[in-house]
Chains A and B, each alone.
Chain A
Amino acid sequence: MIAALTSLTVLGTSLGLILGLAARFFKVEGNPLVEEIEALLPGTQCGQCGYPGCTGAAQALANGNAPLTLCPPGGRAVVAALAARLGMEADLSGVEDAGPRIAEVREELCIGCTRCYKVCPTDAVLGAAKHIHAVFSEACTACGSCVDVCPTEAILLRPLAPTLQSWGWGKPGLQPLAIAQGMAA
């Protein structure tokens, strides 16, 4: 009787102790998947997906409540990365990917109200009250937050023109390649 009581008590206490320590030392802070997904998202907290920032979107994706195609600025690349991480089939046909774009301020319409300057998540707008604003192309993610707040519709998202550094060959079709016409200089 006493032997049984002692052994069960010792067993219970030690197991409890081990579990308690394990809970402390191997503590998991939140869902690790959420962090991984957040690293794949653009991280500019633009809120276009309808969730409060990229962390919220990552949580929704981890719980399976959001479609893979939720991130408009991320484009196809983000959808493909998410699909690879979550082991899901991505339907890319519905994803709009206009290629790299940036915001552009139309100087004749800008009234210098600083609203775009205040909402830009990456500080890509340069400006001061009653001065024409400008956009740093290196910092602009084309999230469109500034387009929504502009009272004079002076901001447009325009495709980034290719440069000698960024130009690349198009995907070959199975048609014969176009032959250069008009050789005159």
Chain B
Amino acid sequence: MKLFKMRGGVHPEARKADSSERPIRILPLPPLLHVPLQQHIGAPAKPVVRVGDKVLAGQLVGVGQGHVSAPVHAPTSGTVVAIGDHPAPHPSGLSAATVTIAPDGEGRWFEYEVPADPFALAPDDIAARAGAAGIVGLGGAAFPSSVKLDASRQSGVDTLVINGGECEPYLTCDDRIMRERASEIVTGIRLIQHAVGATRALVGIEDNKPEALAAMRAAAAATDVQIRAVPAMYPMGWEKQMIHALLGREVPAEGRSADIGVLVHNVATAWAVQQAVCQGRPLVSRIVTVSGGAVVAPCNLEVPIGAPVQALFDVCGGFRTTPARLVLGGPMMGQQIARTSVPVVKGTSGVLALTQAEIGLTRPAPCIRCSTCVRACPVGLLPLEIAARVRSDDLAGAVALGLKDCIGCGSCSYVCPSGIPLVHFFNYAKGDLAAQARSKAKQETTRKLAAERSARIERIAREREEAAAARKAAKAAKEAAARAAATTEAAA
């Protein structure tokens, strides 16, 4: 089997063995579940329950609003005790609208209809069921899956790529799910393939997961799904890198994989699709890796959405030392969080408690223009040049050098011998660009409002003048009529 040579990339120490050899455990239900209404890219869901309502596991608590959105379901049966703001799993530490549920411990499920033969369903029905089950990309980006499935069916993709790369250090949730639930994943892959009408399905798994490869090969033996080993390197799990490794096709700059006829989904997303379509179970839990040097017993847990991060650490034996940094996701692209009260959401692949030695902060030194970052960049950009432009507030120059194509993988920051936070510069610049776009959109709105107001003021002035003229004319006509009457009277 031919694999294609890739550009850039780094080889960070994997540190996966801490958690990869322990089977997935189920997290005991915490006393409260905080289910945010926005756990996906797009518009937040709108709550459809009220405080005091009893809900069943899998029952709808928030409906998606607009085209790009996803519904939210109750992770277990219980009572809605609050609907309001709760700290969001976000580096800003800001709060987000959240439905808080007190579990009753019974775990009774809301019964959804299950088709006798899921492969007899119409393709758009599968996408609709995935959408109704609140499935989003479980690799971390949390993009609503049904939107991707619909768009891919309409644009006619020919190849389905399933991403089992899991290139982030520490994370082993996809590894474990492939080892333990391979047959469900393969069914999910075939359902997605059926939903988009792809002619072939490929699964790319990094070659540092031989057990997962073997399990997936065994499960896919009787099907058309092809399992491929890809070299372990970071960022192999970036979908464009995975496509290039498996197919040798390159996604154009600022383009999407659908532009070259490929749809990419994560292995855990395939599992969620199988659960939704074959079992009638919406996405209300996910596998989360708990790891990091500060954790006593790292492992993988199946966690109900909304469980506070602290509960995960408690089950893993608590902290060995005070963690220097808490991260949601992987250490390369994850989000730093300030407190452990934030909930696990659909996009949370891992929770890491890292020690001072692991984060290895150093004081940034000046750039020595060694161009190590250029060799590491998987997109083929010039990180040092872009960062220099961002530092001197030349955003236009940074965009011209391809800032918008940066995927924020952090390979450049990882290899920089001067310890320059390159990816931080790019994230800052992207945020600034987004703020500029927002203010431009607002300016368009206010410009329209100002024009409407001046038109209204003009119209009112004109109408007033016209009314005055009409009154004057009416008065003149009346006087003329009176005069005429007087003359006729006099003549008579």
Contact = CB atoms under 8 A, between A and B. Distances in A.
B92 A167 contact: yes
A116 to B, nearest CB: 14
A35 interface: no
Given A139-B446, A168-B435, A179-B324, 19 more contacts: A42-B443, A45-B450, A45-B454, A84-B396, A121-B450, A141-B442, A164-B90, A164-B92, A164-B94, A167-B431, A169-B91, A176-B361, A176-B362, A176-B364, A180-B325, A180-B336, A180-B337, A184-B340, A185-B340
Contact of B453 (A121, A141, A182): A121
Contacts of B324: 179-180
A162 B362 CA distance: 30
A169 B431 contact: yes
A123 B446 CA distance: 9
Given A172-B421, A177-B421, A138 B339 contact: no
Contacts of A166: 435, 438
B308 interface: yes
Contacts of A175: 363-364
Instruction: Count chain B CB atoms within 10 A of each CB in A124, A139, A172, A175 and give the residue with the most.
Output: A172
B425 to A, nearest CB: 6
Interface string B350-365: 0000001001011110
B424 interface: yes
Interface in A26-79: 42-45, 77
Interface residues of A, number: 35
B439 interface: yes
B445 A138 contact: yes
A172 B453 contact: no
B417 interface: no
B326 interface: yes
A170 interface: yes
Interface residues on B, range: 35 or more
B324 to A, nearest CB: 6
Given A174-B364, A176-B364, A42 B435 contact: no
B372 interface: no
Interface string B392-417: 01001000000000000000000000
Contacts of B424: 169, 172, 177
B406 to A, nearest CB: 13
Contact of B427 (A141, A169, A174): A169
Given A185-B340, A185-B341, A162 B326 contact: no
Contacts of A180: 324-326, 336-338
Instruction: Count chain A CB atoms within 10 A of each CB in B430, B434, B446, B453 and give the residue with the most.
Output: B446
Nearest to A45: B450
Given A123-B452, A172-B425, A164 B326 contact: no
Give me the 3 closest cross-chain CB pairs, A-B, nearest first: A168-B431, A43-B447, A185-B341
Interface in A98-126: 100, 121-124
A119 B116 CA distance: 66
B29 interface: no
A84 B88 CA distance: 40
Contacts of A121: 450, 453
B310 interface: yes
Contacts of A141: 442-443, 446
Contacts of A184: 339-340
B310 A77 contact: no
A23 interface: no
Contacts of B91: 169
A163 interface: yes
7 contacts: A84-B396, A162-B94, A166-B438, A167-B92, A168-B428, A169-B427, A174-B364
B132 to A, nearest CB: 25
A3 interface: no
